[in-house]
Structure 1
């Protein structure tokens, strides 16, 4: 079931092929005869999660996929500094009227092509120079390389924030990045059998064919990333994917079963976070090293932004608890709890694919509650026309007295005087407006004049207003509901998300 949920989180074959078609077209344009770049054999390859097979669909279905690409050149003009290389690539993109219209403002390192809204993705293109021996090394097995050879896989890239951006023509002084070395390392770590051997080229230059089957490590990373998304919504300080991916890959012990791999990875991840002394800071700091660049610390922002470190450890402890509970559940309980951890859509798709729908006693309906509570007289009714064309669902958690996150399921009891957080996800195309309704019931709320029930425009800072924060003040059965309004019509409405508050 976990493996099938991860498969449902994956991007679709149609999305995958669209991206491949688009970046192949860009590569042809950059290398065509007469291009100023053609002497340097430009090609474009994916990097990041698209390359290593751990990409997941956005939590908000209308959000764009962010596809990271490398524009790899075998050389450059003798007088070219970083600026010249970057603008040679940008200039060639602008030579095509369509790409010129799609091109966003210059980024620090990349050029970004923003595709039509219907495509729902954009491509970040990183100009880069390959080192001597780069292509020869691609034929090797990653396991057979020493560190100096791994370093030769690195690219030299552009960054306009650097002092030598416009002047230094010596590429050895440029910023170094090694996305293909990282991908080869990850694919090496993902091997279930040590008898299997792959060339680096097979790892980092895949044919443009959609792979439906994934290794257990890839599925584990996808599940962990979605659990993170559900837990933190649009929080900019949520744990970053490269740290989750790297620690999971280090902790993976070649288990063939996704559930076993997930359980073991979560127990071992923390042991791969180092403490290193920083002479510049004169103190010890947390260190999550880049496996192909020992000088790079993926957790370098933790010291400056302590919220990031705090959130990572909070997420890791919550993930351990959630998955331990999930793995102890029967099928019906696992179905119910999985929806809180991964979202209703992916879990329902998994159940359909597995053909176990009839074994789940809960089925697909929302639990029913006393009509006297749901039909409270002070509950405001929607003021817009309601024409439901899309979906919106709510996920929630609260922080207990120890500051620990606890997932809300609609059945657990929330203590008084703690923060409650709701995150809504929807497939309504942007733009839209978000409205929330918080309804309090019970004697304590009535006695203290706290019988809320109004509908109001989202005032929170969450992504698109889809985050909502509340406080558990009164004992009783309460609920939250989310409305998505587009052009004056309510096109999506959630179920009542029940919150039971105790003493």
Structure 2
């Protein structure tokens, strides 16, 4: 059983771990610059898309603040984008829309060189830049979509209010999907597959928010050019930490294609999160409770099957591929058990000193990352201790220079 002091110390270690998982502001700005260039090209005067007001907007982990560094510096950052169009030609099907966006990308000499492949729903651009001071590795998945009339007004009004399911449903997009039965035939966007990345973002931040007046604003996150978020909510940190654990676990496995997907982890963690302000308490809670939000019955299909509800679209089952690929369900539960075992092992070292905790985290999260984390943590605590500035934040539980004065803890159950 951890003491309150040990919980606070663990929370600060995990906060430092999360800081080292964050992408840098340089990486963040490079990504924004790249997708702005794409948007400018798609909307240039002689573009076939110009009349439909194309707007590139980030989605997924980039706006949720849960994006993490890849394990190896030569691996890619994954950045998901939406190409929003206010309307389209009446004759365009999903196929036509996707093809036109792709052709416009191919018509740009620089972008044509970056175009990697056509995915099920997206076009992918791969960026590679090497210089003396900068090494950029990221790919962007661009999803063509049609927005509803008055979408921007609906969006602005929605984010002035608290989360409401009926409210965010108005933020749905009609998207292209090669696996849709009407991919080549339907010209009516209302009949196309739906996605709601900004509605999901609003739901996520409604779950994450604990200090709306001091922390990052959701209104900033959903802008086409969002501000860089320097601080993170405990929920964001927990999602980052669990994604890193998954990436390490499946790094060298042959079945890594069937590893737990990020949207399932993010959704289940968010549903299980109970507004804990201490990261270790939040982590322990969610890993012990997230599986209870996986249902055995799908109310939409009325079938006995695993069902993980999209919180902003009940008709979408994030576990729908588990029926087609049983290995994915198996791997999810295998990963969850491993997380529980690793966190229990980590916290059980609390009475044996920092070195034992350090060692217990190296295999689950990666040697280099943990060494860097503990070096940063040690310097932070040493500097504060030497100036008698060691304090604990009464809201987040993090150790630092803000909060109430505290005694030093040697992680052996004895306060000095």
Q: TM-score range by the shorter chain?
A: 0.7 to 0.9
Task: Provide closer, same or farther for how the CA distance between residues 195 and 56 of structure 1 changes in structure 2, counting only shifts above 3 A.
Answer: closer
Report if aligned partners of 2:207, 2:273 keep a CA contact under 8 Å in 1: yes
Which protein, 1 or 2, shows the higher relative CO under an 8 Å CA cutoff with sep ≥ 6? 2
Task: Provide closer, same or farther for how the CA distance between residues 107 and 327 of structure 1 changes in structure 2, counting only shifts above 3 A.
Answer: same
Aligned to 1:81: 93
Alpha-carbon distance between aligned partners in 2 of 1:135 and 1:124, rounded to the nearest angstrom: 22
Aligned to 1:134: 151
Q: Which has the higher strand share?
A: 1
Alpha-carbon distance between aligned partners in 1 of 2:24 and 2:220, rounded to the nearest angstrom: 22
Task: Provide closer, same or farther for how the CA distance between residues 110 and 207 of structure 1 changes in structure 2, counting only shifts above 3 A.
Answer: closer
RMSD: 2.4
Q: Which has the higher helix share?
A: 2
Unaligned 5+ segments in structure 1 are 360-503
Alpha-carbon displacement from aligned partner over 1:173-221 (angstroms, at most 9, x marks no partner):
1111111111111111110147889986434226443322111111101
Aligned to 1:401: none
Aligned to 1:5: 17
Unaligned 5+ segments in structure 2 are 1-12, 131-135, 383-416
Alpha-carbon distance between aligned partners in 2 of 1:4 and 1:98, rounded to the nearest angstrom: 38
Alpha-carbon distance between aligned partners in 2 of 1:358 and 1:201, rounded to the nearest angstrom: 34
Query: Which of 1, 9, 29 is residue 41 of structure 2 equivalent to?
Result: 29
TM-score by length of 1: 0.66
Aligned to 1:223: 241
Superposition map of 1:217-366 within 5 A = 217-233=235-251, 234=253, 235-277=256-298, 284-329=304-349, 330-356=353-379
Aligned to 1:436: none
Task: Provide closer, same or farther for how the CA distance between residues 132 and 279 of structure 1 changes in structure 2, counting only shifts above 3 A.
Answer: closer
Query: Which of 58, 67, 85 is residue 46 of structure 1 equivalent to?
Result: 58
TM-score by length of 2: 0.80
Report if aligned partners of 2:16, 2:373 keep a CA contact under 8 Å in 1: yes
Alpha-carbon distance between aligned partners in 2 of 1:283 and 1:85, rounded to the nearest angstrom: 34
Alpha-carbon distance between aligned partners in 2 of 1:146 and 1:199, rounded to the nearest angstrom: 17
Report if aligned partners of 2:57, 2:224 keep a CA contact under 8 Å in 1: no
Larger Rg: 1
Q: Is it true that 1:171 corresponds to 2:167 in the alignment? A: no
Report if aligned partners of 1:142, 1:185 keep a CA contact under 8 Å in 2: no
Superposition map of 1:76-225 within 5 A = 76-116=88-128, 118=130, 119-139=136-156, 140-141=158-159, 144=162, 146-193=164-211, 201-205=219-223, 207-225=225-243
